[in-house]
Structure 1
Amino acid sequence: MQKITFLRLKKNKFGGAENYLVRLSDGLKKLGIEVEIKYSSAPKFLASWIKAIWYNLEVCLNKKDKFYFSLERVVCPDIYRAGDGVHKVFLEVEKKSKFNPLHLVYLFIEKRMFKNAKKIIANSQMVKKQIINTYNINPQKVEVIYNGVPIKKIANFDDIKKEFNIQNEKILLYVGSGFKRKGVEEVLEIVSKLKNYKLFIVGKEKKMDYYKNLAKELNVNAIFTGPRSDVNKFYSMADIFIFPTHYEPFSNVVLEAMSYKCVVFTTAQNGASEILDKSFVMKNPKDYKIELIQKLLDDENYLNEIKEKNYQIAQNFSIEKNVNETLKVINETIN
């Protein structure tokens, strides 16, 4: 088979898309397929919109006979995996100005990218519909392949319990960077109305002090850890994972939390909500589900029942299954 060149603008140790790319490329290598990952060579000091243009020129002018599987917005992909969703929809959800240079560049590229790609992979039905409706793309051109994660055993978290002085409290968890879009303010509002818990907020955020002060104002028992390389231990320790995002194509953290036997709440604006029982899907970030969350905290048997159900659901979304489904689309596109 022809070598696959994966496209992603930059490396990000804690990024969901970047972690998925590593898993996918490793999975294909195990099947004997030659792959490479092409990152941008743009200087770090450049503005983001210039980096986007730079990367497009860099990869498209040098495409020749290369087969491009892109996880980045470029105008010349053979296959584009829409892991970042539809930028035009994102702007409408976030009510951001379309006149920002970065958004103008993204919209220019995105329109041409969806038209030029031979095949598009969406990671949820929600994203597939958004692509079709926003850019009038032929539905047969868009395949839905849900994310996959490695199914791992529950990690030993004794050191975490010691580090944060955890006794017998029920543990609530949020994992993610970019707190505003992904709903940390809503997490704090939800938790402020609960009792008998300890909340962990794991992730990187520029305005961390704002959220720490908000937690104090709301009298929320919250621990902000910053980004952690041992996030698997937090998943293993947690009882309930709360992710009231405003827009998310399909967040890996939801599937990861389920694979570690967490009860999960997320919004209908997250493509990952498609794999959850509807009782645990918030209509929007302000649909707090307080009574149900408190019931889970108070009823150990019910809590364990839902944990086990989520674990069983997660077994159907292994990275191996994702790799095989993705390879099928690659073969169809090459041939």
Structure 2
Amino acid sequence: MRIALLTRRFDSAGGGTERDLIVTANGLRASDHQVSIFADEIRGATGDWNVRRVGAGPRLGRTLSLLRFAWTAAPAARRAGADLVLSFARCVGADVMRSGGGAHASYLRAARKWRGALGAAAMRVNPYHQVQMLVERQAFRTPGLKRVIAVSNFVRDDLIREFGLAPEKTVTIYNGVDLDRFRPAADSSERAAIRQKFIVPASARVVAFVGNGFARKGLGFLLEAWPLVAGGAFLLVAGADRQTDKFVRRASALNVGGRVVFTGPQPNIETIFHAADAFAMPSLFEPFGNVVMEAMAAGLPAMTSAFSGVAEVIPPSMRGFRVENPDDVGEVALRLGALFDAPASLAAEARATAEKFTWARYAKELNALIESIG
């Protein structure tokens, strides 16, 4: 079958959605499908992929670019001979929509939790966000839509509620994890070297927090809980945020600045996991949370939240680390205490859980879905 993948941006070296797209393309091609990629923006080398830019001509602002791509990408793919169109972006007219983030309207409602009432209201009236909601309403309610893929049941349930989708047409296919890249530290010297780099005592308990968008991912709540954490534990914060300085100042004001290390973005994020004893990300809104699965693949017991899709696949032995109300600092501290008391045997269980979610499994489930449509 000739399958077209639609994406706003193609970047063969990117992460997140860009990585998921490449993995999907490889999985489809391994099953003898012919794959073409249609993008609004193309970055880096395309390798041996057939990548085409939709909407030749001058670059437009992000709102107009979104509109143009949303209505022209699927027709362009069909004119090029596609038998099936699978969209990773908000596009009207696809046969299959893959949602990695849930309904945009749901995201905007949740944004009140970390942006405040005024900040969330400003987002909601912004033309770019208005257009995203307009496009996705049309995309998910198009009669020709055959299937919707969600990255978690958290997302699937949200889409069914928001757009009145038929449950039988909406499926969950969990992302995979790179088990070769994300693995337990090879030996204690690797762990010691990374801790030395970030000036963390070799004997300290260390929790890793990894991600961009600190407020949404619950870093503020972790910092508020840190003075309640006994034993001189350290928090390693890896990622980028425009308000990093605000979080640094908050840590200092809480008198835990000496135990919170902001590493900035790390190209080899697996090294942060190798320096840590556990992982924590009490998010306010997380459609899945690939980084949690990556931390578990590295052998770390993980704290997540009830607002994270990945919480669905956490083993029973780690459910005591799940935060029901991330803005309840007392609960966050309680869950951190349980995380610190976790038995060493949970390292193997964390790894075993991650091993169930391979990209090979993802490809098998995706191809089965495609065959059911074909």
Structure-2-length-normalised TM-score: 0.81
- Kindly provide the amino acid, as one letter, of the partner of residue 247 in structure 2: Y
Which whole-Å CA distance do the structure 2 matches of 1:282 and 1:21 have between them? 31
Equivalent residue, structure 2, for 1:52: 66
Using the TM superposition, name which of 246-255 and 279-288 deviates more: 279-288
Offset from partner CA, 1:125-175 (integer Å, 9 cap, x none): 121111111111111110111121121332453542332133221211111
Equivalent residue, structure 2, for 1:323: 363
Q: Name stretches of at least 5 consecutive residues in structure 1 with no aligned partner.
A: none
Which whole-Å CA distance do the structure 2 matches of 1:25 and 1:8 have between them? 12
Q: Secondary structure at the match of 1:173?
A: strand
Equivalent residue, structure 2, for 1:205: 241
Q: Name stretches of at least 5 consecutive residues in structure 2 with no aligned partner.
A: 42-54, 113-119
Q: Secondary structure at the match of 1:268?
A: coil
Deviation at 1:92, TM superposition (A): 1.3
Deviation at 1:303, TM superposition (A): 3.4
User: Which among 287, 290, 312 is matched to residue 249 of structure 1?
Assistant: 287
> How many matched pairs?
330
Equivalent residue, structure 2, for 1:165: 199
Which whole-Å CA distance do the structure 2 matches of 1:172 and 1:319 have between them? 27
Equivalent residue, structure 2, for 1:305: 345
Assess, with a 3 A threshold, how the Cα gap between structure 1 residues 283 and 60 changes in structure 2: closer, same or farther: same
Equivalent residue, structure 1, for 2:184: 154
| 2:130 paired with 1:113 | no
Equivalent residue, structure 2, for 1:218: 254
Equivalent residue, structure 1, for 2:8: 9
| 2:89 paired with 1:72 | yes
Equivalent residue, structure 1, for 2:52: none
Which whole-Å CA distance do the structure 1 matches of 2:108 and 2:61 have between them? 19
Q: Secondary structure at the match of 1:154?
A: coil
Equivalent residue, structure 2, for 1:126: 154
User: Which among 174, 179, 184 is matched to residue 214 of structure 2?
Assistant: 179
Larger Rg: 2
Using the TM superposition, name which of 27-36 and 236-245 deviates more: 27-36
Equivalent residue, structure 1, for 2:46: none
Which whole-Å CA distance do the structure 2 matches of 1:44 and 1:197 have between them? 53
- Kindly provide the amino acid, as one letter, of the partner of residue 290 in structure 1: A
Q: Secondary structure at the match of 1:309?
A: helix
Q: 2:71·2:92 contact (CA, 8 Å) conserved in 1?
A: no
Equivalent residue, structure 1, for 2:44: none
Q: What is the alpha-carbon root mean square deviation over aligned residues? A: 2.2
Equivalent residue, structure 2, for 1:190: 225
Offset from partner CA, 1:218-268 (integer Å, 9 cap, x none): 222111122111101112222111111111111101111111111111111
Assess, with a 3 A threshold, how the Cα gap between structure 1 residues 14 and 205 changes in structure 2: closer, same or farther: farther
| 2:169 paired with 1:141 | yes
Equivalent residue, structure 2, for 1:35: 35
Deviation at 1:281, TM superposition (A): 1.5
Equivalent residue, structure 2, for 1:82: 99
Deviation at 1:79, TM superposition (A): 1.1
Equivalent residue, structure 2, for 1:290: 333
| 2:236 paired with 1:236 | no
Which whole-Å CA distance do the structure 2 matches of 1:210 and 1:115 have between them? 41
Deviation at 1:18, TM superposition (A): 2.2
Structure with the greater relative contact order (CA < 8 A, sep ≥ 6): 1 or 2?
A: 1
